[in-house]
């Protein structure tokens, strides 16, 4: 049951990154890729019906983590208290930027909320990437299984780590480039004319950077934590994951060249899933490594809830997922196609 719930949490995190990732990426290019107020409204209409629903997956992943691995939840949420508060404020500011701009008709206030929306989207991409980097790199766990990290120490990877060092900054940049590309492709899928072409060109310009950063990220991960290769050595099927990642990158470029935006967007989603699955596969069964002493690692076995609770919870989680997936299928089907400016709301 511990392994089942490990996979469930990984799936929910991947679902959040893929779904909320495209509207975060749309926010990153929101000011740079648009030239008129109408083009900005079209991006808002592209993400308007789904952005807040996509964020629910973050809450669901946190709730699932709390239920299945309560010690991991308690340790990580206390140790990462400072960045979690920053992420919470950025999420609130981003929601305010989206909602209040539609209630203001003064160009100064509309421009102000547009900047709030775009800047908070950029920072969220970086923070989420740095958070994943912290999990892969390890944190200074104490024998009581808790820890505290300052925002930074000396920017070197060691036992006395801060939230930001050269590795977590690298993962933050990888996340920013990846989600910007993902969001650009989504905007290309949902728009027409010049905005469509501009969004696709942003993704094309970023693709070589994404490829280089992917290679650099893999090399850096193996350098600071060689143990991530152990599962790959023992289970050769794991090597299908990097094949999937680089295959998805190739399909992305092919789709952009052929202007088949949906193909490129789906391939971008597959790339994100492949990267996250690769990290989870390399860490398993560890859920939070200790940079101080490997014996202090938090694993699925020493952080999981009771077996009876996990079994009963799996039934209720399955029912909830059926409802959630049905709702999202209905939502995306209802708002499929290119966006238009006619009508009310977004």
Alpha helical stretches, state H, 29-106: 37-47, 51-68, 70-79, 81-101
Q: Tell me whether residue 322 is in a domain.
A: yes
The contacts of residue 308 (CB under 8 Å, 6+ apart) are none
Q: Tell me whether residue 298 is in a domain.
A: yes
The contacts of residue 95 (CB under 8 Å, 6+ apart) are 52
The contacts of residue 205 (CB under 8 Å, 6+ apart) are none
Q: Tell me whether residue 342 is in a domain.
A: no
Specify the pLDDT at position 82.
86
Specify the pLDDT at position 146.
87
CB 113 within 8 A of CB 154: no
| Helix, strand, coil % over all residues of the chain, rounded to 5 | 75, 5, 20
Range(s) of the domain holding residue 60: 2-334
Contacts 24+ apart (CB under 8 A), 312-315: 313/67, 313/68, 314/1, 314/4, 314/5
Q: Tell me whether residue 233 is in a domain.
A: yes
Contacts 24+ apart (CB under 8 A), 198-206: 198/33, 198/34, 199/29, 199/33, 200/256, 200/259, 200/261, 200/264, 202/29, 202/32, 202/33, 203/252, 203/256, 203/264, 204/253, 204/256, 206/177, 206/180, 206/181
Question: Total domain count for the chain?
Answer: 1
Cα torsion for 122, 127, 130, 134, to the nearest 10°?
-170
Q: Tell me whether residue 344 is in a domain.
A: no
From 182, 142, 147, select the one nearest 162 (Cα to Cα).
Answer: 147
Specify the pLDDT at position 280.
94
CB 180 within 8 A of CB 28: yes
Specify the pLDDT at position 87.
92
Specify the pLDDT at position 343.
63
Query: Would you say the pTM of this structure is higher than 0.85?
Result: yes
Q: Tell me whether residue 93 is in a domain.
A: yes
Q: ω before 327 within 30° of 0 (cis)? A: no
CA gap 275, 217 in Å, rounded: 10
From 61, 51, 55, 65, select the one nearest 321 (Cα to Cα).
Answer: 61
The contacts of residue 275 (CB under 8 Å, 6+ apart) are 178, 214, 245
Q: Tell me whether residue 154 is in a domain.
A: yes
Q: Tell me whether residue 90 is in a domain.
A: yes
CB 291 within 8 A of CB 159: yes
Each residue's pLDDT, cut to its tens digit, for the chain (346 residues) gives 999 999 999 999 999 999 999 999 999 999 999 999 889 999 999 998 899 889 889 989 999 999 999 999 999 888 888 888 999 999 999 999 998 887 878 888 899 999 999 999 999 999 999 999 999 999 989 888 888 888 888 888 888 888 899 999 999 999 999 999 999 999 999 998 899 999 999 999 999 999 999 999 999 999 999 989 999 999 989 999 999 999 999 999 999 999 999 999 999 999 999 999 999 999 999 999 998 888 899 999 999 999 999 999 999 999 999 999 999 999 899 988 898 877 654 4
Specify the pLDDT at position 205.
96
The pair of structure tokens assigned to 331 is: 């939502």
Buried residues in 89-125 as b, exposed as e (16+ CB within 10 A): ebeebbbebbeebeeeeeeeebeebbebbbbbbbbbb
Buried residues in 167-192 as b, exposed as e (16+ CB within 10 A): bbbbbbbbbbbbbbbbbbbbbbbbbe
């Amino acid at each position: 049951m511990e392994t089942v719930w490990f996979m469930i949490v990984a799936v929910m995190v991947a679902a959040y990154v893929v779904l909320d990732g495209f509207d975060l990426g749309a926010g990153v290019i929101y000011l740079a890729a648009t030239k008129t107020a109408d083009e900005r409204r079209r991006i808002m209409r592209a993400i308007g019906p789904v952005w807040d629903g996509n964020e629910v997956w973050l809450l669901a992943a946190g709730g699932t983590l709390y239920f299945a691995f309560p010690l991991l939840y308690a340790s990580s949420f206390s140790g990462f208290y400072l960045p979690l508060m920053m992420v919470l404020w950025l999420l609130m500011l981003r929601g305010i930027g989206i909602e209040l701009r539609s209630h203001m008709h003064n160009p100064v206030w509309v421009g102000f909320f547009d900047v709030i929306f775009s800047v908070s989207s950029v920072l969220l991409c970086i923070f989420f990437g740095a958070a994943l980097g912290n999990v892969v790199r390890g944190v200074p766990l104490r024998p009581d299984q808790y820890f505290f990290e300052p925002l930074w120490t000396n920017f070197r990877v060691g036992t006395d780590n801060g939230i930001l060092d050269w590795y977590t900054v690298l993962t933050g940049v990888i996340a920013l480039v990846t989600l910007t590309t993902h969001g650009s492709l989504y905007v290309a899928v949902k728009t027409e004319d010049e905005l469509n072409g501009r969004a696709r060109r942003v993704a094309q310009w970023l693709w070589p950077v994404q490829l280089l950063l992917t290679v650099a990220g893999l090399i850096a991960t193996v350098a600071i934590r060689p143990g991530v290769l152990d599962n790959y050595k023992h289970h050769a099927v794991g090597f299908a994951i990097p094949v999937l990642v680089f295959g998805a990158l190739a399909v992305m470029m092919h789709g952009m060249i052929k202007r088949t935006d949906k193909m490129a967007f789906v391939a971008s989603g597959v790339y994100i899933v492949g990267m996250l699955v690769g990290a989870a596969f390399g860490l398993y069964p560890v859920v939070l490594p200790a940079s101080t002493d490997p014996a202090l690692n938090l694993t699925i076995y020493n952080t999981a809830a009771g077996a009876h609770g996990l079994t009963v919870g799996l039934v209720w989680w399955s029912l909830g997922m059926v409802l959630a997936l049905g709702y999202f299928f209905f939502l995306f089907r209802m708002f499929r196609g290119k966006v238009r400016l006619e009508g009310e709301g977004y």
